[in-house]
Amino acid sequence: MLNALTKKSIMTLFADPICHYSHRTRFVLCEKSASAEVEFIDAQQFPEDLQELNPYGTLPILIDRDLALFNSRIIMEYLDERFPHPPLYPIDPVSRARSRLLIHRIDQDWYTLLDDIINAGEKKAAKAKKLLRENLIAAVPLFEANKYFLSDDFTLVDGILAPLLWRLPLYGIELPKEAQAINEYIQLVTEREAFQNSLSHEERDMMESYALMAS
C-alpha cells in the first residue's frame, strides 16, 4: 500500500475534517490554487497504510509523487516553495527568518493553548481558554499595525493564524470591544475565497451549529 500511496498521479493531502492543523494546510493549498486532492480521514481511526508514511500517527500528511510529508508547518512551507506564486514568505533571508520565528511563537504560545482547550481536562482547558484570551488581547497593537498580521500583504503567518482565530467562538472565547482590531482581522482573512474553499463540510456544520445556539 505504501508504494500505491506514494505513486499517486496527483498531489494528495490526507487531512482531518475538523482539526485546526489540517485546516491550515488546506487553507494554504487553496491560496496556492494547487491541483491537489484532499482526502478526509478520521484521526481517531488512523489507517495502517498511512502509519507507514507518518510513524507518529498524526494528520495532515501530504503526498507528492514519491515524497511524503507530515507536520503541518513543513507541509505549508513546502507548498509555498512548490507553488511559488503568490509567494507567502518574504524573499529575503532575514525577513523569512523573522516570519519563521513568528510562526514558531504562534504555535508555541497560542496553538498549544488551543490544543489544551480541545483535549485537556476541564480545569486545564478553562485555564488555557483564559490565557489564550489574555494573550490575544495583549497582542491587539500587533493587529492594529498593518492590514494583515505585521504585514500589508497576506503571508504564511496569516495562513497559520486564521484557522485558530476562526475557532474562538466555537470554544467560548469572546473578545472585548478594545480588541476590535482582532475581530476586523478575523473577518478580513476568513472572508477570503481561499479560506471559504478550505472549509470542510464538518467545519461549516460546526459554525452553523454555533450560530444557531448563539442566536
Distances (CA, A) of 36 to 7, 62, 70, 94, 158: 14, 10, 16, 31, 21
Phi and psi, residue 120, nearest 5°: -80, 175
Q: What is the pLDDT of residue 47?
A: 85
Q: What is the pLDDT of residues 62-89, one digit of tens each?
A: 999 989 999 999 999 999 999 999 999 9
Q: Are 54 and 70 in contact (CB under 8 A)?
A: yes
* Confidence tier at 15 by pLDDT (50, 70, 90): very high
Q: Which of 151, 149, 156, 16 has the alpha carbon at shortest distance from 83? A: 156
Q: Is 195 exposed, middle or buried (0-12, 13-18, 19+ CB in 10 A)?
A: buried
* Confidence tier at 6 by pLDDT (50, 70, 90): low
Quick check: 147 pLDDT over 70?
yes
Where exactly are the structural domains of the chain? 2-82, 93-214
Percentage of the chain beyond pLDDT 90 is 81
**Mean pLDDT computed over 172-195:** 96
Rounded CA separation 42/126 (Å): 26
Q: What is the pLDDT of residue 173?
A: 95
**Mean pLDDT computed over 166-181:** 95
Q: What is the pLDDT of residue 113?
A: 98
Q: What is the pLDDT of residue 172?
A: 92
Percentage of the chain beyond pLDDT 70 is 95
Q: What is the pLDDT of residue 48?
A: 83
When mean pLDDT is compared over 7-16, 48-57, 58-67, the highest value belongs to 58-67
Rounded CA separation 165/183 (Å): 9
Q: Which three cell numbers stand for residue 130?
A: 483564559
What's the pTM value of the predicted model, to 2 decimals?
A: 0.93
Quick check: 39 pLDDT over 90?
yes
How many residues are there in the chain? 215
CATH class of 93-214: mainly alpha
Fold annotation for 2-82: Glutaredoxin (3.40.30)
Quick check: 5 pLDDT over 80?
no
